Amino acid sequence: MVVSLNEPLDMHLHLRDAGMLDIVAPLSAETFSGALVMPNLVPPVTTKEALLSYRKRILDAVGESTFMPYMTLFFKSDYSAGFLEAVKDDILAIKLYPAGITTNSEGGVSGFDLKELAPVLDAMSGLGIPLCVHGETGGFVMDREAEFIPIYEKLAKNFPDLKIIMEHITTKEAVEALKRFENLYATITLHHLYITLDDVAGGLLQPHLFCKPIAKRPEDREALLDAALKADPKVMFGSDSAPHPKDAKEAPGCAAGVFTAPIALQALVQLFEKHDALDRLQSFVSDNAKRIYGINPPEKRVILENSPYLVPDIYEGTVVPMFAGRTLEWRVVSAG
């Protein structure tokens, strides 16, 4: 059995920088036509010069592969309308992080005072620049996303012309919120379609499954699965693939992030086949994102076949993928 996917897109991807960028960027470029690249470097990407420099480093890392890095800026409340207009053609979205809530987000937003945020959000609305949001509060870890829903609602109501993407949603409450507001959309990761908190910490701790937002309850996973498998037109695939060196994952103070980029399509096909939903995978992994963001990625056709694929234990002796050492039921046979 063979599955063909056209222009698969990863609409939430961490490529890091320097040596890690050189390892992981080619792995995404092998099977994806493009990806929305997160800006939370050290320091974060907040200027046009930093943006263009980072884009060049990504393109250098992927070499001859057909791959479009869709760039983002790290949200700042003091961006001027003139600056946003000048950078509009170089970015696809702006990413808002609550301060200190995840990796390299210390310079994010505190308080969510709409009067303070309004000048930038109004300018983004007028320019048609989408807002991507890591939607968590600083509360109890299992409740952080649900507690953030009222902030999404406030943003959606006060800025009706602003396209808002709820990034890497993990709860049934977030799925329900999508239905209430026309301008809310969402990305869903591979790992949140597969795991619950029990997989992370129900037995021996699994550091390579520890992420933020943390995996939730079975009923939350079921809500995500329902939206993804139906290819709900308001959701799209975003891996939130977040590589860290092995010694930063298998350590006290384990870094948050699951590295899924090189096995994402294989695992998605396996999941959609299991649920008799292969006819909707193209929409989830490409067509919905094209429509939501209004993009035309470079042509790429990825063909997978139903034959065993042994996931590597580690890449370049540095970064461990999800399903390391396990066999998936599908493999990529060609991409181009």
Every domain of the chain and the residues it spans: 2-335
| Active-site residue flag, 226 | no
Rounded Cα distance between 146 and 1, Å, is: 40
Please report the pLDDT score of residue 230 as a whole number.
97
For the domain spanning 2-335, the CATH number is 3.20.20.140
DSSP 204: S
DSSP H helices in the chain: 18-31, 48-62, 81-87, 114-127, 144-158, 172-180, 190-194, 197-201, 218-229, 246-249, 264-274, 281-282, 288-293
Exactly one of 240, 279, 287, 313 is catalytic; name it.
Answer: 240
pLDDT for 122 equals: 98
The model's pTM is: 0.97
> CB neighbours of 47 closer than 8 A, spacing ≥ 6?
none
Spell out the residues 6+ positions from residue 247 whose beta carbon is closer than 8 angstroms to its own. Answer: none
Supply the pLDDT for residue 104.
80
Residue 111's pLDDT is 80
| The pLDDT value given to residue 335 | 97
Residues 282, 263: Cα–Cα separation, whole Å: 17
Q: In order along the chain (336 residues), what is the average pLDDT of each group of 10 residues?
A: 98 98 98 98 97 98 98 97 98 93 81 91 98 96 96 96 98 97 98 98 97 97 98 98 98 97 98 98 98 98 98 98 98 97
pLDDT at 112: 83
